Amino acid sequence: MSFFDSIDNLIMYMIYGKGELPPLDITQITPSPLLYRPLSFDDYIGQDKAKAIISSFIAGSKRYDKIFPHTMIYGNAGCGKTTLARIIAGELQVPFIELLATDMAIEEFLSHIQEVNGGIIFLDESHRMKRETVEQLHSVMEDFMWNGQYIPHFTLIGATTEIGEIIKNRKPFYDRFKIIIELEDYTTQNMLQIIKKYVIESYKNEPLRIKALKLIAENSRLTPRKSIRLADYLYYSGKSIIQVFQDNQIIDKGYTTKDLKVLEYLQKSGKAVGLDTLSLYLDIPQVTYNYDIEPYLVKTGLIQRTAKGRIITQCGINELNNLKLKMGI
């Protein structure tokens, strides 16, 4: 979790933890240098298809004076799902509450429906919700009823990195979302635009270190959250971009020393390796490997998932040799 995410979570706790203040209305937020986030579609770079779909439904909601339909947004971690949900709330000028699905009970969810007062509940990591809670949500989402009693209308926006898990094991829940949005891959040019805009807004009195920002764009794994974290590191530390990459164990093209270790281990093994073995070898939790390491290696074709485990591809072997060369190994 980044420094800025920690501040956001603290603010959300301060606002909702005691139930003493009304739900957050992001239309009343003025961006500050330390909390800059895009608050409109004009500021939200990329994802043109998603923005077009959402804009048409926002227009329809206003035209017919209806709540915005339940929406599921899926894509890789750090690609802007939360930001997009906040922009929807801002465009609709309705309150917004952010929740984490893990271990949430139905009673907690219902209490937030009352708080949000016709606005949006954003449910992050929707695939992690307990099955019992998911099943209890069906009538709440579809009929706006609980235990035979009507409840206030609201919009649920779910976010997930594991849409397949929801479709496979929670299909009735998935079917109750009227809008399904898949976030597309960003380009390096998108990343550079995002970083430049972020730096301009967040470090107003600092020069734009354009060469360094280009290198960050090329080494961010095409993920806005990672690029912003590296930009913050660059400006806070005052170090050169080479030192920033060294501190963050980045070798080339966003690949890190942990990626190098994975590729080396798979090559030496010569066979499929299980998740337990890999995470133990790297000395990291499985969830860290699953969300922070493996997706990029699979996406770029360096490893493959098989029924027996993970294997390195020929592309992976080639990249391993390149990374070793860069490291002087």
The residues spanned by each domain of the chain are 3-182, 188-248, 255-327
**Any idea which fold 3-182 has?**
Rossmann fold (3.40.50)
> Quick one: pLDDT at residue 7?
38
Q: Are 3-182 and 255-327 in the same CATH fold? A: no
> Is pLDDT above 80 for 34?
no
Record the tokens describing residue 100, joined without a space.
């984490």
**pLDDT per position as a tens digit, 264-278:** 999 999 999 999 999
Provide mean pLDDT across the span 284-296. Answer: 89
**pLDDT value of residue 213:** 97
The 3-state secondary structure of 62-130, one letter per residue:
HHHCCCCCCEEEECCCCCCHHHHHHHHHHHHCCCEEEEECCCCCHHHHHHHHHHHCCCEEEEECHHHCC
3-state secondary structure of 180: strand
CB 138 within 8 A of CB 53: no
Which residue is associated with the tokens 């070898």? Answer: 281
Is residue 157 predicted with pLDDT exceeding 80? yes
Tell whether the model's pLDDT for residue 30 goes beyond 80: no
Could you report the per-residue pLDDT of 44-57, keeping only the tens digit for each?
A: 999 999 999 999 99
Name the token pair of 84. 């997009």
For the chain, give the percent of residues with pLDDT over 90: 79
| pLDDT (0 to 100) of residue 77 | 86
Please tell me whether the overall predicted TM-score, pTM, comes out greater than 0.85 for this model: no
Predicted confidence at residue 15, as pLDDT, reads 36
Pick the CATH number of 255-327 from 3.30.1330.60, 3.40.50.1220, 1.20.5.510, 1.10.10.10: 1.10.10.10
> Is residue 164's pLDDT more than 60?
yes
Report the pLDDT value the prediction gives residue 23, as an integer from 0 to 100: 40
Least confident residue range of 53-67, 104-118, 172-186:
104-118
Q: Model confidence over 125-138: pLDDT tens digits?
A: 999 999 999 999 99
State the average pLDDT for the chain: 88
Q: β-strands 96-100, 120-124: how paired?
A: parallel
Q: Which of 116, 79, 93 is nearest to 39 (CA)?
A: 93
- Say whether pLDDT at 235 is over 60: yes
How confident is residue 36, by pLDDT bands cut at 50, 70 and 90? low
Question: What's the pLDDT at 6?
Answer: 40
- What is the model's pLDDT at position 114? 86
pLDDT tens column, 211-232: 999 999 999 999 999 999 999 9
Least confident of 33-37, 78-82, 96-100: 33-37
